[in-house]
Amino acid sequence: MSSYYSVIHVLKKSNEGDVVNLRGWVYRLRWLGGKVFIVLRDHSGIIQCVVDKDEARRFGKEISELGIEASIIIGGTVRFDKRAPGGKEIKVTELRVVGVSNNFPIKGGEGIDYLLDNRHLWIRSRRLTSIFKVKHTMLKGLREYFSSNEWWEVTPPILTMSAVEGGATLFPVDFFGRKAYLSQSAQFYLETLIFSLEKVWSVTTSFRAERSRTRRHLYEYTHLEAEAAWMGMKEMMTVVEEMVKAGVKKILDERLDELETVKRDITKLEQVLSNRFDVITYDEAVELLREKGVKIEWGEDFGADEERVLTQQFDTPIFVTMFPRKIKSFYMKVSEDNPELVYGFDLLAPEGYGEIVGGSVREDKYDTLLNRIREEELNPKDYEWYLDLRKYGSVPHSGFGLGIERMLMWISGLDHIRDATPYPRFRDRLYP
């Protein structure tokens, strides 16, 4: 057997009677009236392969070795059959078992702990495969957005010496006898790069030692971040909106089958493309929440519950802007009109999903930034190089971070973020 076709190629392009070779894994297997029905799975899809009675006798040894998830090579002719999934099946004339699979540990109906222990095998599932394909396409759409709008992609470090988002969620590591940390955000490094490249972005892994375990927090997640010189808040919010729409559009263009597999209502996603994202201020959000019966004091941060109530009022993602200074990071620029507020913005995904982007205008004045660092009781020594950027050719600038798994969770309609990444880390389980 020489060249191989993918399942999707056979389903879409082959004609009745074509002779094809396929390779993949046994997805389903059953015997019926002397025939063997093998549903073969490869990266692109599934197809039914039928070993007729006579052939079944000829391939006795191979068939005896077949099991769910065994890897196989099949040769045969294409038959059109309305009853087969995809409308076509293969009449098998060649069969080879490459790797046996006796008693595959996942049979269906297992509990979540068992499945997480067997994540390395569970990731073969159609559901997870579909989610990872959506993730791929989402990243592709986002990347294309940046490429076609003259942003530079850069590669900041993961080993760092300082906190971007507060010390409480830092993971320490031993760096040759000195204490270093795993990055929470590439933001400060991106800020250093705008003085030469002006508009930069990156995808890195960020780490957060989150204290509570929730449906939308990972300890290790994929962080897309962007930073641009000369941009104010409005411009940066436009970037975020266009970028998110580019990601959603790419997925709707290319991943409808996968969205169907994960049972996502795509009309909800289509709405996102046809409307401008609403913008409300923190003050307005607090008012809206109170109208909905949520008890919240001005100055309190929104948690998952508040964000759920807020976003259920809208069909598209919404921006919340102008947050109280005391609940946001020290680097956010303080409002000229009201020193209690900062130029920060969050993008909240609809249908209750909540925050997927956090961004702001950065404080670009040396003295103000130094005061903010002191006010937060941080050590200015730790931020010397960051402060330097305000000494040598400072510019107004803004940036944001998008949680890729958060966005994927929303796009795919997941009720838990763990399935948005192949290997979610858990406090009590660093396995596999």
Q: Judge contact between 188 and 386, C-beta under 8 A.
A: yes
Neighbours of 262 (CB within 10 A): 18
- Residues in a beta bridge with 28: 39
The 8-class DSSP code of residue 417 comes to: G
Listed in sequence order, the residues at least 6 apart from 71 whose beta carbon sits closer than 8 Å to its beta carbon are: 23, 24, 25, 97, 98, 99, 101
**The residue to which tokens 């596999």 are assigned:** 432
Radius of gyration of the chain (CA): 26
Cis check: omega of the bond before 432, within 30 degrees of 0: yes
Which C-beta is closer to ligand NSS: that of 75 or that of 344? 344
Which C-beta is closer to ligand NSS: that of 47 or that of 236? 236
Which C-beta is closer to ligand NSS: that of 225 or that of 364? 225
Which C-beta is closer to ligand NSS: that of 25 or that of 188? 188
Listed in sequence order, the residues at least 6 apart from 299 whose beta carbon sits closer than 8 Å to its beta carbon are: 324, 326, 327
Which chain residues interact with ligand NSS by CB under 6 A? 164-165, 185, 187, 208, 210, 217-218, 221, 223, 225, 355-359, 399-401, 403, 405-406
Closest approach of ligand NSS to the CB of residue 197, in Å: 15
131: nearest Cα among 270, 6, 264:
264
**Burial class, 335, CB count within 10 angstroms (exposed 0-12 / middle 13-18 / buried 19+):** middle
Task: Name the helix (H) or strand (E) containing 409.
Answer: helix 404-412
Which C-beta is closer to ligand NSS: that of 5 or that of 221? 221
Closest approach of ligand NSS to the CB of residue 378, in Å: 15
